């Protein structure tokens, strides 16, 4: 069975850092682009970042550009999100999600598999 | 570039629910739909405007016309009560956009 399992969430003070992980299983992780998507409490979905299958191409939402870094380790089947200079408005459940990756030239820009999410709460 | 959905739609069991999503780029970009039940992760129900995702019941269908795409649920069941989000990409394909979500209530 295919699975994505996020971890690393928690309570953190404004201005501090946190790193999220997403462990993939049941599919060939190294052939898929991956996304992070977040959802603030009681709010809608917001895309955060995308990384290509090989890690060479990355895209970010304007709201996190310069503060968050997406990365991956294909030897560990794991996706990461390094979050620096955290703000109260970054409080959300963070989901990792798979891009079908079957669309030319590189990305499909949608999500065919989601993890269950990990909650990040930024508060003093 | 924004995607606009009605905040709420209510139908009785067995009726047809239609959830719309409007955006200026939709004539040129595919739309996707996700279902999210309380406390759960989203699940893709429709992709490239009209294709039902694997495991999604046939009562779900998608259509598009101009700047509006529509998710239709025929013969709504109680289990269909959820939030539904449309999603697309911007014209440069460097950003993902979500609609604000529609809460479907089955009366």
* Residue-level pLDDT at B90: 83
Average pLDDT over residues B5-13: 97
* Residue-level pLDDT at A39: 98
* Residue-level pLDDT at B100: 97
pLDDT per residue as tens digits for the range B74-103: 999 999 999 999 999 987 778 999 999 999
For B37, nearest residue in chain A (alpha carbons): A116
Contact A36/A70 with Cβ under 8 angstroms?
Answer: yes
pLDDT, chain B, mean: 95
Residues of A in contact with B89 (CB under 8 A): 109-110
* Residue-level pLDDT at A35: 98
- d(CA B55, CA A105) in angstroms, rounded, equals 27
* Residue-level pLDDT at B69: 97
- d(CA A39, CA B63) in angstroms, rounded, equals 27
Q: Which residues of A lie closer than 8 Å to B, measured between beta carbons?
A: 35, 37, 44-47, 50, 59, 61, 95, 107, 109-112, 114-117
- d(CA A85, CA B16) in angstroms, rounded, equals 47
Residues of chain A with pLDDT under 70: none
- d(CA A118, CA A20) in angstroms, rounded, equals 8
Q: What is the DSSP letter of B53?
A: P
């Amino acid at each position: 069975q295919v699975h994505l399992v996020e971890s690393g969430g928690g309570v953190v003070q404004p201005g501090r850092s946190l790193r999220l992980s997403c462990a993939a299983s049941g599919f060939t992780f190294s052939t898929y682009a991956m996304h992070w998507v977040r959802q603030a409490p009681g709010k809608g979905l917001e895309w955060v970042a995308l990384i290509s299958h090989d890690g060479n191409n990355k895209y970010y939402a304007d709201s996190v550009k310069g503060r968050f870094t997406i990365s991956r380790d294909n030897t560990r089947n794991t996706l990461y999100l390094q979050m620096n200079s955290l703000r109260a408005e970054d409080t959300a459940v963070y989901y990792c999600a798979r891009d079908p990756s079957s669309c030319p030239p590189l990305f499909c820009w949608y999500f065919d598999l989601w993890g269950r999410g990990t909650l990040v709460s930024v508060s003093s | 570039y924004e995607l606009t959905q009605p905040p709420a739609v209510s139908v009785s069991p067995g009726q047809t629910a239609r959830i719309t999503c409007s955006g200026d780029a939709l004539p040129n970009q595919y739309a996707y739909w996700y279902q999210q039940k309380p406390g759960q992760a989203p699940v893709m129900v429709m992709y490239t405007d009209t294709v039902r995702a694997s495991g999604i019941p046939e009562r779900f269908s998608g259509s598009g016309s101009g700047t509006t795409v529509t998710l239709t649920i025929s013969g709504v069941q109680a289990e269909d009560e959820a939030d539904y989000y449309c999603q697309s990409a911007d014209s440069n394909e460097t950003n993902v956009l979500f609609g604000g979500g529609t809460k479907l209530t089955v009366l």
